[in-house]
Amino acid sequence: MANWESLEGTPPGHRSGFVALMGRPNVGKSTLLNQILRQKVTIVSSKPQTTRTRIAGILTRDDMQIIFLDTPGIHRPHHQLGQAMVTAATGAIPDADVILFVVDVSQRPSEEDLMTARAIRQGTQRPVILTLNKMDKLPPELVTEHTEAYWELIPDHASWMMISAIKGENLDKLVKSIAEYLPEGPRFYPHDQITDQTERAIVAELVREQVLRKTRLEVPHAVAVTVEEFKERDSGAFYILANIHVERNSQKSILIGKRGQMLHKIGPDRP
């Protein structure tokens, strides 16, 4: 039966569950999530620690629904906000049916990868898929050395997969192997819902991404964005009024720039 949505309950064999994306900052968790969902639900930047909260991306197919928890990444906390981010990251573990331990296989494991592996092992008995990302950047002569080094971090992992989030390589296989570990269960969200964030929250994250991209602010998490107004105009364009909050006055002047040039760059491209 192709269209079972008109039916009550769950189709036979339907699987569903929560998948936590764990990994140190910058390994490509947000990129992976965006590629799997093919929409931009979480911001990506080359600066670490851009993801601040747990964002659920929802993948719905006829036979399964996977709810992804994107985490800020485990790192050494330097201050209170850092501590809150670590708590949010480890907090996702017990909720998850499957853990994706995402690493950058083009580099050797770092201290933070080790901390992440330890947090996963202490936090859950659930299956872990070691997700070796950035295979496009891995020179052939380092394949064995690097993969073995990551396997050692998580000796009791359930399986592993070599992927490239950016190139979309092996992502279908990854989704398939996630599904194998999911319990049978119903859809938790409507099929067309891809996130539990509000539109405003997504817009605020998109503005924050532009700020981080275009400025050279050394502390990315010193920036917060609140959206005051978000309206669709008759022309079909969107009108967004947002406040950008920073920690220090010096950052304010960087953001505004000479005669407002930087602010202009952060704003949308004008036709």
Site residues, ligand GDP (CB under 6 A): 23, 25-31, 44-46, 50-51, 73, 133-134, 136-137, 164-166
CB of residue 28 to Mg ion, shortest distance in Å:
8
Query: Which x/- pattern, by CB under 5 A, does the window 45-84 give for Mg ion?
Result: ------x---------------------------------
Q: Which two tokens stand for residue 197?
A: 């964030």
Q: Which two tokens stand for residue 69?
A: 């928890």
Q: Quick one: what does residue 28 bind among Mg ion, ligand GDP, none, with the CB cut-off 5 to 8 Å set by partner type?
A: ligand GDP
CB of residue 6 to ligand GDP, shortest distance in Å:
37
Beta bridge partners of 195: 57
User: Could you tell me if 187 and 65 are in contact, meaning their C-beta atoms sit under 8 angstroms apart?
Assistant: yes
Q: Quick one: what does residue 195 bind among ligand GDP, Mg ion, none, with the CB cut-off 5 to 8 Å set by partner type?
A: none
Q: Quick one: what does residue 25 bind among Mg ion, ligand GDP, none, with the CB cut-off 5 to 8 Å set by partner type?
A: ligand GDP
Q: Which residue number, 16 or 30, has a Cβ lying nearer to Mg ion? A: 30
| 159-193: burial string, b at 16+ Cβ within 10 Å, e else | ebbbbbbbeebbbeebeebbbebbeeeebeeeeee
Q: Quick one: what does residue 164 bind among Mg ion, ligand GDP, none, with the CB cut-off 5 to 8 Å set by partner type?
A: ligand GDP
CA 125 to chain centre: 22
CB of residue 24 to ligand GDP, shortest distance in Å:
7
Beta bridge partners of 99: 20, 128
d(CA 206, CA 151): 35
> Which residue do the tokens 């279908």 mark?
172
CB of residue 252 to ligand GDP, shortest distance in Å:
25
Q: Which residue number, 27 or 204, has a Cβ lying nearer to ligand GDP? A: 27
Q: Quick one: what does residue 223 bind among Mg ion, ligand GDP, none, with the CB cut-off 5 to 8 Å set by partner type?
A: none
Q: Quick one: what does residue 137 bind among Mg ion, ligand GDP, none, with the CB cut-off 5 to 8 Å set by partner type?
A: ligand GDP
CB of residue 189 to Mg ion, shortest distance in Å:
21
CB of residue 48 to ligand GDP, shortest distance in Å:
6
Q: Which residue number, 64 or 153, has a Cβ lying nearer to ligand GDP? A: 153
Q: Which residue number, 26 or 251, has a Cβ lying nearer to ligand GDP? A: 26
d(CA 20, CA 178): 11
30 near Mg ion (CB under 5 A): yes
Residues at the site binding Mg ion, with contacts judged by CB under 5 A: 29-30, 51
